[in-house]
């Protein structure tokens, strides 16, 4: 019986074996029942009670199957008896989804797409269209579904036209079909903001803005779409208040995309570093500040958490890029330390911010060097020396002092006693508001 078949085993069945189990189950083969199941699988859920009203979803689906609403009603009841349809109130759904998705693919292959699409778009039911597109969203490996989504998202398509049709209904459909053709979805978002009006991202359109931010995060998962997705996220972030305390903000989302692990993207370290470089080297102060924010995220070594969902239709997703070796860890941090040092030594207004970021990151970076590859300590030594040589670096001194105080006992002797040599305090002595702290007592 299908009820006792595990989802894992179902996923490995060939189509013929699957349908044989589904539509026999100790019964004679029933082609009409299979057709009804395929039609009902085109939507995520449907009203399975109303058979007569002008808005009857059962009547609409029956028309696609060339059946009467009463015939389809009886078939739905039989499918329910066989454990293939579940009900909640008036609502019915073909389940489990692994079966429904397969059935929907067969249905898409058996009905001319222009007939099917025109029928749904002219049915007058926004709920039914949303249910249909939600099913399509799980069929990214189905050519007819890809064709429907691609056509709708074209500049002259049903969703792509009229300023990208971002009404509440249009947005719901857009979200549903975006996983089918991610590049086309991203291109549509780019068109929506190409007139520089920023209407899609203005804070006043808060609910829609949040939806676009979440969607752009999903689109940024693929390395080839990362730069374009991040460009739009940056535009959104620059419209936000820089001190906004919102985990769903564009700024907060961008920061997670630049973490070394659990970032939710497979963009390479080189790609992410190039974006930080571009922002920092901008002539616009706000863009420079955003670059510093992302640089700080890239140098983060502690307290990196998952802050996003990985579901994007039926596409398989993991937590994104993860260094495969100690060498890759060092390469990542070394790359961003170099950027930070270069900016800290520049005459840009954000030089002080770069110094602050490096000082705040120094303890975690030093721990990585001490535990993974002590050659990385040489990179940090050079950065510290260059910055301090240019100007007394109080923040750096305080950070190094903290390393000695909190991590000194666990350090190897050669690492521990080398730390005080990084700053030349005979010539340049930092001071604090609490008094002279220019001395460096070894072992303190």
DSSP string of 287-335? HHHHHHHHHHHHT--S-----S----TT----S----SSHHHHHHHHHH
Give the contacts of 308 (CB within 8 A, at least 6 positions apart): 214, 217, 253, 256, 264
In the prediction, which pLDDT does 315 show?
92
Closest residue by Cα to residue 116 from 151, 148, 93: 148
In the prediction, which pLDDT does 248 show?
82
CB 160 within 8 A of CB 187: no
Given a cut of 90, whether residue 346 has pLDDT beyond it is: yes
Q: In what order do the strands lie in the sheet with 91-94?
A: 46-47, 91-94, 85-88
The residues facing 47 across adjacent strands are 91
* Residue 79 covered by a domain: yes
Using left for φ > 0, alpha for ψ between -120 and 50, and beta otherwise, residue 443 falls in left
* Residue 111 covered by a domain: yes
- What would the mean pLDDT of 19-34 be, rounded to a whole number? 72
Round to whole Å and give the CA distance between 253 and 240: 12
Structure confidence by residue, pLDDT tens digits, 228-257: 999 999 999 998 876 666 778 999 999 999
In the prediction, which pLDDT does 11 show?
45
Quote the pTM value. 0.87
Number of domains observed in the structure of the chain = 1
* Residue 115 covered by a domain: yes
Q: Of the ranges 264-273, 362-371, 389-398, 424-433, which one carries the lowest mean pLDDT score?
A: 424-433
- What would the mean pLDDT of 143-157 be, rounded to a whole number? 96
* Residue 366 covered by a domain: no
Closest residue by Cα to residue 109 from 136, 145, 63: 145
- What would the mean pLDDT of 61-90 be, rounded to a whole number? 96
Q: Judging by DSSP bridges, how do beta strands 431-432 and 435-436 pair with one another?
A: antiparallel
Encoded tokens for 260: 């070394």
DSSP tag of 193: T
In the prediction, which pLDDT does 358 show?
97
In the prediction, which pLDDT does 163 show?
57
Q: Which residue has the higher pLDDT, 20 or 82?
A: 82
CB 358 within 8 A of CB 301: no
In the prediction, which pLDDT does 401 show?
83
Structure confidence by residue, pLDDT tens digits, 278-293: 999 999 999 999 999 9
Round to whole Å and give the CA distance between 415 and 374: 8
In the prediction, which pLDDT does 356 show?
97
Q: What is the CATH number of the domain that holds 50?
A: 1.10.10
Q: Count CB-CB contacts under 10 A for residue 170.
A: 18
The mean pLDDT value of the chain amounts to 86
Q: What are phi and psi of 94, to 5 degrees?
A: -75, 125
Q: Helix, strand or coil for residue 46?
A: strand
* Residue 239 covered by a domain: no
In the prediction, which pLDDT does 305 show?
87
Q: Of the ranges 4-18, 68-82, 136-150, 258-272, which one carries the lowest mean pLDDT score?
A: 4-18
Cis ω on the peptide bond leading into residue 127 (within 30° of 0)?
no
Give the contacts of 152 (CB within 8 A, at least 6 positions apart): 158, 159, 160, 173, 177
Structure confidence by residue, pLDDT tens digits, 178-217: 999 999 999 999 988 876 555 555 554 566 888 999 999 9
* Residue 372 covered by a domain: no
Please tell me which of 20-24, 129-133, 385-389, 428-432 the model is most confident about, judged by mean pLDDT: 129-133
For residue 325, the number of C-alpha atoms closer than 13 Å in the C-beta half-sphere is: 4
* Residue 433 covered by a domain: no
Encoded tokens for 385: 């020396």
Q: How confident is the model at residue 405 (pLDDT cuts 50, 70, 90)?
A: confident
Given a cut of 50, whether residue 30 has pLDDT beyond it is: yes
Rounded to a whole number of angstroms, the distance between the first and last alpha carbons of the chain is 73
In the prediction, which pLDDT does 430 show?
47
The whole domain housing 37 covers: 23-123
Q: Of the ranges 20-29, 349-358, 361-370, which one carries the lowest mean pLDDT score?
A: 20-29
In the prediction, which pLDDT does 2 show?
45
* Residue 258 covered by a domain: no
CB 380 within 8 A of CB 369: yes
């Amino acid at each position: 019986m299908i009820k006792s078949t595990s989802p894992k085993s179902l996923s490995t069945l060939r189509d013929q074996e699957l349908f044989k189990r589904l539509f026999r189950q100790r019964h004679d083969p029933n082609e009409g029942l299979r057709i009804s199941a395929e039609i009902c699988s085109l939507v995520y859920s449907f009203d399975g009670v109303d058979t007569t009203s002008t808005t009857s979803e059962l009547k609409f689906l029956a028309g696609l199957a060339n059946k009467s609403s009463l015939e389809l009603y009886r078939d739905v009841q039989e499918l329910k008896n066989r454990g293939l349809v579940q009900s909640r109130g008036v609502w019915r759904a073909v389940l489990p989804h692994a079966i429904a998705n397969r059935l929907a693919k067969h249905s898409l292959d058996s009905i001319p797409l222009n007939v099917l699409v025109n029928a749904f778009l002219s049915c007058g039911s926004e709920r039914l269209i949303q249910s249909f597109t939600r099913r399509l969203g799980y069929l990214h490996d189905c050519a007819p579904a890809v064709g429907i989504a691609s056509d709708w998202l074209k500049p002259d398509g049903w969703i792509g036209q009229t300023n990208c049709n971002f009404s509440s209904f249009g947005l719901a459909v857009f979200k549903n079909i975006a996983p089918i053709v991610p590049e086309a979805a991203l291109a549509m978002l780019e068109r929506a903001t190409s007139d520089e009006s920023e209407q899609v991202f203005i804070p006043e359109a808060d609910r829609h803005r949040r939806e676009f931010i979440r969607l752009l995060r999903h689109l940024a998962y693929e390395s080839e779409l990362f730069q374009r997705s991040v460009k739009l996220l940056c535009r959104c972030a620059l419209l936000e208040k820089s001190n906004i305390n919102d985990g769903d903000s564009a700024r907060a989302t961008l920061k997670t995309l630049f973490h070394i692990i659990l970032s939710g993207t497979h963009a390479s370290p080189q790609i992410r570093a190039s974006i930080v470089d571009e922002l920092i080297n901008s002539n616009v102060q706000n863009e420079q500040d955003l670059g510093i924010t992302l640089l700080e995220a890239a140098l983060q070594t502690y307290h990196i958490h998952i802050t996003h969902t990985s579901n994007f239709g039926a596409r398989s997703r993991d937590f994104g890029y993860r260094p495969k070796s100690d060498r890759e860890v060092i390469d990542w941090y070394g790359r961003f330390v170099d950027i930070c040092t270069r900016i800290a030594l520049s005459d840009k207004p954000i030089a002080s911010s770069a110094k602050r970021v490096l000082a705040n990151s120094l303890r975690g970076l030093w721990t990585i060097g001490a535990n993974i590859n002590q050659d990385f300590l040489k990179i940090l030594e050079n950065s510290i020396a260059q910055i301090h040589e240019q100007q007394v670096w109080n923040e750096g001194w305080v950070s190094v002092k903290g390393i000695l105080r909190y991590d000194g006992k666990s350090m190897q002797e050669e690492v521990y006693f080398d730390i005080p040599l990084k700053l030349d305090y005979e010539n340049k002595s930092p001071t604090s508001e609490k008094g002279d702290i220019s001395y460096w007592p070894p072992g303190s």
